[in-house]
Structure 1
Amino acid sequence: MTTSWLVTGARGQVGHDLLDVLAGRPGDRVTAVGRAEVDLTDEGAVRGCLRDWLAGVRDRGERAVLLNAAAYTAVDDAETDEGTAQRVNGDAPGWLAQEMAGAGRLVHVSTDYVFDGSATEPYPVDAPTAPRSVYGRTKAAGERAVAAAGGDATTVRTAWVYGEHGGNFVRTMLRLERERPTVSVVTDQVGSPTWSLDLARGLVALGSREEPAPPVLHYTNTGAASWWEVARAVFEERGADPDRVLPTTTDAFPRPAPRPAYSVLDTGAWSAAGLPAPRAWRTALAEALRSW
């Protein structure tokens, strides 16, 4: 059976890579939706878009899969724009999930920011959420809304995503390596850097499987590093001296929204579900930089 895919947030970092991955699936049908097509703060527009798309899918006798990569990701801006963040991150996923319930599969992307960052071991999928920022609170609200709608829906939490498209830490380090003799990077935030293309491949694998998946899964590249260690790795991959990356602490860079000190997610449930196991973050980083 042909699968019809709808990608929301299609012009974002993950959305770009989702479209690239789906382009390698001949015979499937892909619809890309970005901010220009649908205002995620407008409930009527969101529901109308889904209903129109699902009607076409039903008429053609296809299988429906929605990959929701849309989000309000301006973490600091959200602290003073909670209303918009709540509509996009909290309410819209619920509307999508309600429309998809009984009609197809929803794969919804969430974040490590739903946790408080005080852990010392990787967060399992059933760890209690305790967000410390508006961004985290609104993403947690979106998770709850998806769960409440029922249906064939899985929330996939990820962390520290970087890709070729859009702004991210790795691209910033590449630019600063060219522009500055040294760069100071924090050592007291630890996570699992995740290449958006690897994440996209995982999300498509989840969407394409026939059997239902658990309601919550974690996907990141494996291993853990501080931002300082990631920056050093970027410099090394570019043939630059990693000692140009100087260690500092979060206190030296005050931001409106608190950052989790520890963002490592346990991906065991992902592999246990029979999905392709994530690879090591350093291996993925090396390939990403070569491909760019």
Structure 2
Amino acid sequence: MKKILVTGANGQLGSELAVIATNYPNYEWIFADRTQITLDDLILLRVQLGAINPDVIFNCGAYTAVDKAETEKELAFAINHSAVELIAKFAAQKKAKLIHISTDYVFDGSSSVSLSEEAITNPINVYGESKRVGEIACLKEDSDSIIIRTSWVYSKFGNNFVKTMQRLMQERDEINVVNDQIGSPTYAADLAKVMMIILESPNWIPGIYNYSNEGEISWYEFAKAIKEFGGYTCKVGGIPSASYPTPAKRPEFSLLDKKKIKTIYNLDVPNYKESLKKMFVK
């Protein structure tokens, strides 16, 4: 029986993979939190990987605190670069399948058209920089690996924009949300299913793939959809990013082009509203 190691088990994607794991009893699943797979300690990480000896690695663990990364650069790079490099090296040596999760934040946001996998990367914050060098290291150490870039991830698990909006819309009469950052959200449950489709497919074609739900929206429009499905009465206003300064810059436009993954893996990608609705009815 093949063994699947999921890093970042308590995160949004790791938690969604745990939900669908019951549909795949033909695998032995190992859901590792930060104590079982210690991404900021390479010596320990090497030992832990050797002890588990997986056939498949879903690397969902990452340093994702975008604003904190500006002051914790060393830690962000340790987890998002050095650990990824080591995991990819291990996967290549053991001939284990590796799917590594990356981000739309590898782009600078200056594009006006959806970004393909070949689009030029130019991260504008430390988090994006750390994830980009992690991508490069992953493909260099394991040319057979698959990287999935995703954006605006949310789930019923963990902390995310949807859950924050749900809370604020119940606590306040009025909120403001930035309306000049454009992209598309990703329901982690959808992404978890896609990872299994890729793993089970006879077509294992290495390289970078983009995945998010369909739709081109701002965070403000996303908030309005959350209000609609939640039936909240809170007033939602749109504001420019300049009115809501953060330590880390965000890309203004990071809509991912998904043609490649849809074609190769014959995927039908749901619209963001369709997926958001699923989270509300669960």
Q: Could you state the TM-score of these two structures normalised by the residue count of structure 2?
A: 0.96
2:143 counterpart of 1:144: no
2:28 counterpart of 1:36: no
State how far apart, in whole Å, the 2-side matches of 1:227 and 1:184 are. Answer: 10
In structure 2, the partner of 1:24 is: 23
**Which one of the candidate residues 136, 148, 157 is aligned to 1:165?**
157
**Which one of the candidate residues 237, 243, 259 is aligned to 1:252?**
243
State how far apart, in whole Å, the 2-side matches of 1:276 and 1:51 are. Answer: 34
In structure 1, the partner of 2:189 is: 197
In structure 2, the partner of 1:72 is: 63
State how far apart, in whole Å, the 1-side matches of 2:170 and 2:224 are. Answer: 14
> Residue 264 of structure 1: SS of its match in structure 2?
coil
Q: Deviations over 1:232-251 (max 9, x none)?
A: 11111112347x10111111
> Residue 91 of structure 1: SS of its match in structure 2?
helix
State how far apart, in whole Å, the 2-side matches of 1:164 and 1:36 are. Answer: 23
State how far apart, in whole Å, the 1-side matches of 2:10 and 2:205 are. Answer: 26
Cα distance, 1:209 vs. partner?
2.3
* Greater CA drift, 205-214 or 149-158: 205-214
Structure 2 runs not aligned, ≥5 long = none
**Which one of the candidate residues 234, 253, 267 is aligned to 1:262?**
253
State how far apart, in whole Å, the 1-side matches of 2:143 and 2:118 are. Answer: 19
Q: Deviations over 1:219-259 (max 9, x none)?
A: 100111111111111111112347x1011111111100001
State how far apart, in whole Å, the 2-side matches of 1:275 and 1:16 are. Answer: 25
State how far apart, in whole Å, the 1-side matches of 2:123 and 2:239 are. Answer: 24
In structure 1, the partner of 2:112 is: 120
State how far apart, in whole Å, the 1-side matches of 2:185 and 2:257 are. Answer: 13
Change (3 A) 1:275 1:6: farther
Structure 1 runs not aligned, ≥5 long = 58-63
Report if the CA contact (8 A) 2:106-2:132 is conserved: yes
In structure 2, the partner of 1:238 is: 230
Change (3 A) 1:275 1:33: farther
Cα distance, 1:150 vs. partner?
2.5
Report if the CA contact (8 A) 2:198-2:265 is conserved: no
In structure 1, the partner of 2:281 is: 290
Report if the CA contact (8 A) 2:197-2:265 is conserved: no
Report the number of matched residues. 281
State how far apart, in whole Å, the 1-side matches of 2:170 and 2:80 are. Answer: 35
Cα distance, 1:152 vs. partner?
2.3
State how far apart, in whole Å, the 2-side matches of 1:232 and 1:170 are. Answer: 11
> Residue 29 of structure 1: SS of its match in structure 2?
strand
Identity %, equivalent residues: 36
Cα distance, 1:182 vs. partner?
0.8
Q: Deviations over 1:152-192 (max 9, x none)?
A: 20110000001111111111110011100011011101110
Report if the CA contact (8 A) 2:178-2:239 is conserved: yes
**Which one of the candidate residues 247, 269, 280 is aligned to 2:271?**
280
2:86 counterpart of 1:87: no
Cα root mean square deviation, aligned: 1.3
Cα distance, 1:151 vs. partner?
4.0
Change (3 A) 1:275 1:101: farther
Report if the CA contact (8 A) 1:21-1:204 is conserved: no
In structure 2, the partner of 1:61 is: none
> Residue 128 of structure 2: SS of its match in structure 1?
helix
Q: What pairs up with 1:181-196 in 2 under 5 angstroms?
A: 181-196=173-188
In structure 1, the partner of 2:45 is: 46
